[in-house]
Amino acid sequence: MKNSVLNTVAPALFILGLLIVPASAQTAVVNHSSTPWVIQTATSHAQKHASFVENRITDLHAKLRITDKQSKQWDAYAKTMRDNASSTDKSFQDRSQKLSSMNADDAMKSYAELAQLHAKNMEKLASSFDTLYGTFSDEQKKIADKLFQNEQANRHGEMHKSH
């Protein structure tokens, strides 16, 4: 069970990784984070992230062969994914708007707050997936296990290609 939960959270960790790079890059920006361009960019990123999440939900639904009987648990899992993405995007937008007025200490603290939010979101996602996973047939469990193991391995390999 621990492996399945760990494998389930791997995609979300990848998403956080995509969000961390812009956040760490933002800390290098001194006077531009409250400009309309930055706000527009953050909004555009949030829209792309929402689209990514919707595509991910659709893809997982098909690959996991979710049945009508599982729709209640699936809907809860999908809602958690959407809610997590929304709260994360809002937090990054808020941070980007305030970053130019933060000193280095405040910037680090705000980054720590983002990490805490991510951890809370992952707990919610793991819990809702656990409930969904409990409804899976043996075949669906095999698909889910393989799906998340392959994604984790692929992402791990991609991370090491850049080094």
The answer as to whether 163 is a domain residue is no
The pTM is what? 0.68
Q: H/E/C letters for each residue in 73-100?
A: HHHHHHHHHHHHHHHHHHHHHHHHHHHH
Helix axes 36-63, 138-161, angle to 10 degrees: 140
The answer as to whether 83 is a domain residue is yes
The answer as to whether 133 is a domain residue is yes
Here the tokens at position 74 are 């699936």
Q: What is the CA radius of gyration of the chain?
A: 17
The answer as to whether 13 is a domain residue is no
Domain count, the chain: 1
137-153: pLDDT as tens digits: 999 999 999 998 876 65
Question: Domain containing 135: what range?
Answer: 35-147
Mean residue pLDDT of the chain comes to: 78
The answer as to whether 87 is a domain residue is yes
Q: Is the pLDDT of residue 38 over 60?
A: no
The answer as to whether 136 is a domain residue is yes
CA distance 111 to 21: 12
Q: Is 65 helix (H, G, I), strand (E, B) or coil?
A: coil
- Average pLDDT over every residue of 36-64: 80
The answer as to whether 124 is a domain residue is yes
CA distance 80 to 91: 16
